[in-house]
């Protein structure tokens, strides 16, 4: 009696295993993906010193809600699990482990901050969990050889620096460059990019000064840089110091060609406080459309963004660059998942993420495209130069790639 | 409510009998130890990791408890000692290839020295002024770690990635489990050391200073020595916790050790019960898990929810976990009498 029962049970199990095996032959899943759901993890600083960036996570959540409301990706709903790390690396490690081991997500998408991502990179790569489209501008994320499970998204600080160097070599080959940079990973990454791109012409750099983010003012550095006799001034500064520099330049009547880094291009946060009249003719570069700029009011991509915000994230501040950022990143994620089809393994996710061809999220500047390959883990590499005129930035020139080989 | 008031007024009387008040009964201790030993065998690696962090923060809270509960000095600068310990371990492991277990005593000694030295100027301060001075230390630390002079070793803002040690002698357990038991052994050692310290002559001197500095001096206690000693011991233990934290998290960066950490530890001590050593682990659980619970309730308002929960705890059980334990003990006592 007993053995008979066992026999039947075994047979039944075998049949189930066999039939379900054939049914699933076309579909492949890793932890976190099923016929009905794709589980995506995320870590954001919803609290703490960088909590302003939490908007990125909220925008992404709203965007995935929209995708789910429209039927999901190939019939699968996105389950977006987003945790707070308060911009603290140890907390990021805890949350990453929770996502991977407890929530069992398929991948970790767009975790924010250079320190937090550095803290979880080794763990995620050891676990072979994709750490996709990290939200930081450091250059080190494009390292497919050593970290095949980590990929960046936005242009790195170095590629932006390459663009300025290329512009200077072309437009001002006899220029003498003075550089002011913040003494941290951001400033140093940037400076390295400038020097790499200038190459043999690095002698164009007449003077460089570094400042600590804790200094009250950069005025004395600027006076010293002026004394070097330079006629180009590159300001690798965060918003507060960028504004100080613009003001000080006008005060001491120094009128070099002024280039300011992309992190400090906010019209409301930097240029207005420093005085529009002091910023005329200043140069920078951008890759995304600016919600505060009226020239995009009738742009179809931005209209789509605004329609989405109205329906799914009505309390968002549409002037906030983080909204534009989160929307673009989420669109890229959805694109990759669509490309994966029914093969939702971690391996395939990385493979598809590394084979994006000319993908254009709605919020990137016209002409800027996302391209990746097995050896290129830097999705956005192009930027466009812009000049400050009147009370806004005017884009000019071609879309330029930050890659040095071109 | 009446019961709570009774206990609140009763509490100082308990403080006067430190021998019993400092620890749990033998039975309870053994049950706790058994749980800590057995639970990891049945849970996921992630939970083991969280339990390891629980022990580590528990040790750090315990260190603060010795300082505040024992000698009556406030500190909002524990994050600085924690950071020094973490960096000492990380730098020794990564730059000088020292075995991870050996880095811990070194971290402890360095932090002891650091705390002892800091205790010297702090002698002139007391109460809120001392709290402010230590606050300054906590604010300064992340920036000091970013300084260019040390970058060769500290990795600057980028921090240092630490290699996780494997279980030795080819033991068939995961790295997480090995680190957990490794941490557990150190935690128990530190706990026993702390309990004995507070029961010893030095501990009595700490408590005499806490209760009445002038009286203590009149009794012949070297106030200056014991106050700085308390700072040193507390810093040393915090340093060991920091070193363990670096090994477990596998990463150190200046932004990991901000004033937020110091305030968390302070909070853990108050929630666990000031001066009650077993409460440290409860306080540690509070600072690790309650933010997660708060986040689960509302993402946008996680800070506010955490605040409300904290307020409830302070309002309902102002003496923290110790008060809960006393109530429990009394209930059991009454039950036995009946």
Q: List, for residues B121-150, the tens digit of each pLDDT value.
A: 877 877 788 888 888 889 888 888 877 677
Strands B160-161 and B251-252: antiparallel
Provide the residue ranges of all domains of chain B, joining segments of one domain with +: 45-154+173-258
Q: Cβ contacts of residue A306 below 8 Å, gap of 6+?
A: A318
Q: What is the mean pLDDT of the segment spanning B20-47?
A: 80
Cβ–Cβ under 8 Å, residues A65 and A308: no
Nearest-by-CA chain B residue for A187? B157
Q: List, for residues B70-125, the tens digit of each pLDDT value.
A: 888 888 989 999 999 999 999 999 889 889 999 999 999 999 999 998 888 877 87
Largest Cα–Cα separation, chain B = 69
Q: What is the mean pLDDT of the segment spanning B20-45?
A: 80
Cα separation, A228 vs B230, whole angstroms: 54
Handedness of CA A118, A120, A123, A129 (dihedral sign): negative
Q: Does B158 touch chain A (CB under 8 A)?
A: yes
R_g over Cα of chain B:
20
Q: What is the mean pLDDT of the segment spanning B8-23?
A: 45
**Which of B244, B269, B285 minimizes the C-alpha distance to B319?**
B269
Q: Cβ contacts of residue A298 below 8 Å, gap of 6+?
A: none
Handedness of CA A125, A131, A136, A141 (dihedral sign): positive
User: Residue B4 has what pLDDT?
Assistant: 40
Taking an 8 Å cut-off on Cβ atoms, the answer to whether A84 and B295 are in contact is: yes
User: Residue B8 has what pLDDT?
Assistant: 40
Q: Which two tokens stand for residue B10?
A: 């009763």
User: Residue A235 has what pLDDT?
Assistant: 94
User: Residue B57 has what pLDDT?
Assistant: 95
Taking an 8 Å cut-off on Cβ atoms, the answer to whether A94 and B148 are in contact is: no
- Smallest CA–CA distance, residue A143 to chain B, in Å, is 16
**Would you say residue B304 has pLDDT above 80?**
yes
**Would you say residue A354 has pLDDT above 90?**
yes
Query: What's A72-103 look like in SS3?
Result: CECCEEEEEEEEECCCCHHHHHHHHHHHHHHC
The fraction of chain A above a pLDDT of 90, given in percent, is 56
CA distance to A189, B144, B256, per residue, from B148 (Å): 15, 9, 18
Q: What is the mean pLDDT of the segment spanning B224-234?
A: 90
CB pairs under 8 A between A and B: 83
Cβ–Cβ under 8 Å, residues A349 and A129: no
User: Residue A53 has what pLDDT?
Assistant: 83
**Would you say residue A4 has pLDDT above 80?**
no
The helix (run of H) or strand (run of E) holding residue B27 is helix B26-38
**Would you say residue B185 has pLDDT above 90?**
yes
Q: List, for residues A266-300, the tens digit of each pLDDT value.
A: 887 788 888 899 999 999 999 998 877 788 888 99
From the list A89, A94, A98, the residue facing B159 with the nearest CB is A89
**Which of A248, A250, A296 minimizes the C-alpha distance to A393?**
A296
**Would you say residue A171 has pLDDT above 60?**
yes
Q: Cβ contacts of residue A239 below 8 Å, gap of 6+?
A: A263, A264, A266, A269, A270
Taking an 8 Å cut-off on Cβ atoms, the answer to whether B245 and A119 are in contact is: no
Indicate the pLDDT class of residue B10, thresholds 50, 70 and 90. Answer: very low
Q: Which pTM value belongs to this model?
A: 0.78
Q: What is the mean pLDDT of the segment spanning A14-21?
A: 48
Cβ–Cβ under 8 Å, residues A203 and A169: no
CA distance to A264, A328, A377, B8, per residue, from A381 (Å): 19, 15, 10, 64
User: Residue A266 has what pLDDT?
Assistant: 80
Taking an 8 Å cut-off on Cβ atoms, the answer to whether A122 and B250 are in contact is: yes
Query: What's A7-55 look like in SS3?
Result: HHHHHHHHHHHHHHHHHCCCCEECCCECCCEEEEEEEECCCCCCHHHHH
**Would you say residue B181 has pLDDT above 90?**
yes
Cα separation, B111 vs B239, whole angstroms: 5
User: Residue B169 has what pLDDT?
Assistant: 78
Nearest-by-CA chain B residue for A47? B303
User: Residue A405 has what pLDDT?
Assistant: 56
Number of H helices, E strands in chain B: 17, 2
**Would you say residue A377 has pLDDT above 90?**
yes
Nearest-by-CA chain A residue for B248? A90
């Amino acid at each position: 009696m007993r053995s008979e029962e066992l026999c039947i049970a075994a047979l039944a199990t075998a049949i189930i295993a066999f039939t379900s095996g054939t049914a699933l032959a076309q579909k492949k899943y890793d932890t976190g993906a099923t016929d009905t759901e794709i589980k995506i993890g995320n870590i954001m600083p919803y609290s703490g010193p960088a909590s302003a960036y939490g908007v990125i996570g909220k925008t992404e959540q709203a965007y995935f809600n929209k995708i789910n409301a429209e039927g999901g990706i190939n019939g699968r709903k996105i389950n977006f699990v987003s945790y707070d790390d308060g911009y603290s690396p140890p907390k990021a490690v805890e949350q990453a482990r929770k996502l991977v081991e407890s929530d069992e997500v398929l991948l970790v998408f767009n975790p924010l901050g250079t320190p937090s991502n550095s803290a979880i990179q080794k763990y995620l790569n050891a676990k072979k969990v994709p750490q996709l489209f990290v939200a930081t501008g450091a250059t080190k994320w494009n390292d497919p050889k050593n970290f095949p499970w980590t990929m960046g998204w936005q242009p790195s600080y170095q590629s932006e620096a390459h663009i300025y160097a290329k512009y200077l070599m072309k437009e001002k080959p006899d220029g003498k460059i003075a550089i002011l940079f913040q003494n941290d990973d951001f400033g140093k990454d940037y400076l390295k990019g400038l020097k790499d791109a200038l190459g043999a012409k690095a002698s164009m750099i007449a003077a460089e000064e570094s400042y600590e983010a804790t200094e009250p003012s950069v005025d004395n550095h600027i006076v010293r840089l002026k004394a070097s006799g330079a006629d180009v001034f590159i300001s690798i500064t965060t918003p507060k110091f960028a504004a100080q520099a613009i003001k000080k330049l006008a005060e001491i009547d120094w009128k070099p060609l002024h280039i300011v880094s992309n992190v400090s291009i906010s019209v409301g946060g930097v240029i207005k406080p420093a005085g529009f009249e002091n910023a005329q003719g200043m140069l920078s570069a951008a890759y995304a459309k600016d919600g505060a700029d009226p020239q995009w009011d009738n742009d179809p991509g931005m209209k789509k963004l605004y329609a989405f915000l109205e329906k799914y994230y009505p309390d968002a501040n549409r002037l906030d660059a983080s909204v534009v950022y989160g929307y673009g990143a989420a669109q890229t994620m959805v694109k990759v998942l669509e490309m994966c089809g029914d093969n939702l393994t971690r391996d395939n996710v990385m493979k598809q993420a590394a084979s994006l061809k000319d993908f254009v999220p709605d919020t990137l500047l016209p002409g800027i495209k996302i391209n990746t390959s097995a050896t290129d883990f830097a999705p956005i590499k192009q930027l466009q130069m812009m000049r400050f005129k009147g009370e806004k930035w005017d884009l000019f020139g071609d879309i330029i790639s930050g890659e040095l080989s071109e | 409510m009446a019961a709570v008031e009774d206990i609140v007024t009763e509490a100082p009387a308990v403080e006067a009998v430190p021998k019993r008040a400092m620890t749990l009964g033998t039975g309870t201790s053994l049950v706790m130890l058994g749980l800590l030993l057995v639970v990891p065998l049945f849970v996921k690696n992630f939970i083991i990791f969280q339990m390891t962090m629980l022990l580590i923060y528990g040790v750090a809270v315990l260190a603060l408890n010795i300082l505040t509960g024992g000698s009556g000095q406030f500190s909002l600068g524990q994050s600085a000692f924690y950071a020094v310990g973490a960096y000492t371990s990380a730098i020794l492991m990564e730059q000088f290839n020292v075995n991870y277990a050996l880095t811990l005593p070194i971290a402890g000694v360095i932090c002891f020295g650091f705390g002892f030295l800091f205790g010297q100027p702090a002698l002139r301060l007391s109460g809120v002024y001392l709290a402010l001075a230590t606050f300054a230390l906590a604010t300064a630390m992340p920036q000091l770690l970013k300084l260019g002079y040390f970058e060769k070793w500290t990795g600057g803002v980028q921090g240092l990635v630490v290699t996780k040690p494997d279980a030795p002698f080819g033991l068939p357990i995961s790295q997480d489990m090995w680190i957990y038991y490794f941490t557990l052994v150190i935690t128990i050692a530190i706990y026993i050391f702390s309990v004995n310290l507070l029961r010893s002559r030095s501990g009595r001197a700490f408590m005499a200073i806490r209760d009445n500095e002038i009286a203590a001096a009149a009794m012949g206690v070297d106030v200056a020595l014991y106050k700085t000693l308390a700072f040193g011991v507390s810093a040393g233990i915090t340093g060991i916790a920091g070193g363990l934290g670096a090994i477990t998290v596998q990463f150190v960066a200046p932004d990991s050790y901000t004033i937020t950490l110091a305030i968390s530890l302070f909070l853990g001590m108050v929630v666990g019960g000031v001066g009650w050593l077993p409460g440290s682990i409860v306080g540690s659980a509070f600072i690790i898990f309650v933010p997660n619970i708060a986040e689960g309730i509302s993402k946008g308002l996680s800070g506010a929810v955490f605040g409300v929960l904290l307020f409830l705890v302070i309002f309902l059980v102002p003496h923290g976990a110790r008060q809960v334990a006393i109530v429990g003990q009394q209930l059991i006592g009454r039950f036995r009498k009946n």
